[in-house]
A and B are shown apart, each in its own frame.
Chain A
Amino acid sequence: MIKKKQRILSFSEAIKEAQTQAFKLDKNVFIFGQAVDKTGHVFHTTEGLLKKFGKKRIFDTPNSEQAETMFAAGAANNGLRPVLIHHRVDFMAYTFDELVNWISLWSFKSSGKSSMPLVIRAIIGRGWGQGPQHAKTLHSMFSYLPGLKVIMPSSPSEAKGLLLSSIMSNDPVIFLEYRALYNTKEHVPEKPYFIDLNEPRKRMSGKDLTIVSMGASVLTSIQASENLKSKSINVDLIDLRSLSTFNIEKIFLSVKKTKRLLMVEDGWSNGSISSEIITRVMETGIKLKKPPQRICWPNSHIPMSSVSEKEFYFDQKDVFNASVKLMKV
C-alpha cells in the first residue's frame, strides 16, 4: 500500500521526467515532431520542456513523417540521440520505408559498426471515439522487423525507466504508449534509473495460471487477477515490456509451473505477439493442462461509437471469464 511519503506520479509525468532527466544526462538528446513543443504537449508529456531547455532541444516540424523519421536516422548516425514523437501510431504508416529499409537494418548492414540510437514515441490504442484511423496499436508489425526494439510500458514507474533506457540505448526503439494509461498513477523514484530492455517483469506471482501481457492490458490483467483471488485462482502475471527482444525464459519457467497460459493483448489476433508466444511455448513441448488461450482484438478495424467500442474492446471481465474457463478441469 501507499506509504504517505512516497512520491506519486502519473504516467504522463513519469514520461516527462524521463525526458527531462535524459536532457540533463546527455546534451545530444533532443525531441521533435509535429506539435510537440508549444501546445497540446503530447498528453502533457513535453510540457515545460521548451521553456526549460529552449528550441534547440525541442522543436516542431512540418507534417512530414517520412522526412522526420530519416531526419532522426541521419542525426542518430552522426552521434545525436533523437526522440521523435507521433501523436498517433497510425501516422507511422507513412514511415514504413524508413523503418523497414533503413533504420531497422542500419546496424546489420554495417556488421555492427554503425548504430542508430533513436527513439520513436507513438501513442497507441483506445480512447474516446478515436475510430479506425486513430486507435490502432500496430506493435506486432514493428516487432516483426529484425533490428527494431519495440517497447510498451505498462505503468508510470515502468514508463520512466524504460524510456530512459530507450533513449540511452544504441539501438532504434519504437516506444508505444497506450493512451488509456496517461492518467494512471503510482510511486516513481526520483533519480534517473534504467530498465533492461530485454527482460520481462513478473508483476504478480501465482501457481495456477500464467498470464502474459503488455502495455495497458497488463493493467486489465492485474484487475482481473485481483478478482480471481476470490475464486482462489492465483495468477503468475508477466509484463513483457519489450515485444521483439524479450527473454522468453521467464515465460517458459512460469508455464512449466502453472501448466496454463493465457495471453492478453490489446491488438489484432492475426500475427500477434500472442501467436508468437503461444507458438514458442508449444515448441518447447511443455505439457499444458488446457490448450493456451488468447484475448486479443477481433480482426476488424476499430469502430468509433461508444456502443460499438464496447463490443470491440475486451475488459477485465473477459480476462476473468477466460481465466476461470482455463481453470476448469
Chain B
Amino acid sequence: MTNKLKNSDKLKIYYTLKFIREAQNQIIKRYHPADKMKCPMHFCTGQELMPSVLSLFLKKQDSIYSHHRSHGFYLAKGGSLKKMIAEFYGKRTGTNGGLAGSQELSNTDINFYSGTILSGALSMAVGDAFAKIYKKENSISVAVIGDGGMEEGIVYESLNIASKMRLPALFICENNNYSTHTHLRERVINPKAFNKVKPFGIKCTYINHQNPEKLYSKLSQIITEIKKTKKPQFVEIQTYRFNGHVGPEGDDHFNYRPKNEIEFWKKKDPVLLYKKYLSKKFNNFKKLEKKFDLKIKKVIDAAFIYAEKSKFPKDFKRYNFNNTYSKVVKKFYKNEIKLFKEQEGHKPKPY
C-alpha cells in the first residue's frame, strides 16, 4: 500500500464525504412530514472524515463492526443507499429486511454489522478477527466505537484478548465528546480514550485534525502494520457531530453544548475544508463539483423511490431461528436406548 494519494483517490474521498453528508441531510429533510421512516436515527454529519478515508482501504472480505452512528461507515464500506433507505422505511428490500432500522444497520453481503447496545460490536470484531487468523485470511476486522462506548467493561476485556492473541483488528474510536448530552469531562477521569488502551500493549494513534490526506497516509501505515504484524491497533479521532444525538431534530435547544464550541467545529467542517483545498488543486473543480452534485442527487432520489416502491416484510417470526444444520447432518437418530442399572447412581460427586 502506498502512502501517496493519487488525484483520483482525492476525488473519491471528496465524493464520499459529500455523499455521506448529503444523503443524511436529505434523510433529515424528508423524515418529516412524510413520516415514513419510523425509526430512531443517529446521524453523523460532521463525522464523515474517518469513514470517507477508510473506505479506500477496505475490501469486501474486510469487515466492519460499528456503533449505532453507522450511516457513514455503512456507505463507506460500499453499502447500497437504496437498501439503507429501504431499511429505514421498514421494507423487506432493506439491509436487514426491514426488521431492524437505522440503529442496527447490517448487511452480510458487504460484511458490515452494527448495533446500538454500545460496545458489543467492538467485542464481536475481535471474534471475527480470530476467525480470519483461524482460516488464514489476510483481511482485517474493523471495530468502530464512540467515546461513550469506551466506558463499558466489555471493551477492556476484548482489547486484552485481541492484544494477547495477536488478532488483526483495527479499533477506531470516534471521540465526539458527548455521550448523548453528557460531556466527557462529566464522565471520566481521562478524556482521551487511547490512554486507557495503551496499557494493553496496543499501538495507539491520536488524530486531531480534519485533513483527509494526512489521515490517509497514517491509516495506510497502520493497516499495513496490522496485516504484517497481526497485532491490533487503536486509532482515536477527535470529531464532532453537527446534528442532534438522535435525529432528525436538532437538540441544541437543551444548551448542552456551548455555542462557541459548535462554531469552532463548524469552522473545521471536513467537507468544506477539503472542498476549499481541492478547489485550489484542480482547475476544473467547479465542473467536477457540479458532476458530483448531480450524481449524488440522482442516487439519493433513486434510493427514496426504491424504498417507497418496496414491500413490507411478511411473517417475520420465521427468522428467529434458522432451523438448519451443517451439511454433515444428514438424518436424525431416533434414540431408543433403554436405561440401565448404572444410571441409578445419581449421586453427585465432589468436584
- Asked whether A81 and B326 contact (CB < 8 A) given A107-B321, A111-B313, A147-B321, the answer is yes
Contacting B at CB under 8 A, from A168-188, are: 168-171, 179-180, 182-188
- Asked whether A67 and B161 contact (CB < 8 A) given A128-B350, A161-B333, the answer is yes
Interface string of B151-171 (1 = CB under 8 A from A): 001100110110010000000
Of residues B106, B322, B347, which shows the largest number of chain A Cβ atoms within 10 Å of its Cβ? B322
A226 to chain B, nearest CB (A): 9
B134–A101 contact, CB under 8 A?
Answer: no
A5 to chain B, nearest CB (A): 14
Interface string of A34-70 (1 = CB under 8 A from B): 0000000001000000000000100001101011101
Enumerate chain A interface residues (CB-CB to B < 8 A). 1-2, 8, 25-26, 28, 30, 43, 56, 61-62, 64, 66-68, 70-82, 97-98, 101-102, 107-115, 117, 126-128, 146-147, 149, 155, 157-158, 161, 165, 168-171, 179-180, 182-189, 192-196, 198-199, 201, 203, 216, 219-220, 222-223, 245
CA distance A219 to B343 in the complex (A): 8
Q: Which residues of B contact A68 (CB under 8 A)?
A: 157, 161
Interface string of B131-143 (1 = CB under 8 A from A): 1101100000100
Q: Which residues of A contact B350 (CB under 8 A)?
A: 127-128
CA distance A149 to B322 in the complex (A): 11
Beyond A75-B134, A126-B348, A188-B337, 20 additional pairs, beta carbon < 8 A: A8-B342, A61-B161, A71-B123, A73-B124, A73-B127, A77-B127, A78-B128, A79-B131, A80-B130, A81-B326, A102-B124, A111-B92, A113-B108, A155-B337, A161-B335, A170-B322, A183-B345, A183-B348, A185-B343, A245-B321
Q: Which residues of A contact B325 (CB under 8 A)?
A: 165, 168-170, 194
CA distance A220 to B345 in the complex (A): 11
CA distance A30 to B351 in the complex (A): 25
B60 to chain A, nearest CB (A): 13
B129–A74 contact, CB under 8 A?
Answer: yes
Q: Which residues of B contact A158 (CB under 8 A)?
A: 335
- Contact for A112 among B100, B134, B154, B322, CB less than 8 A: B322
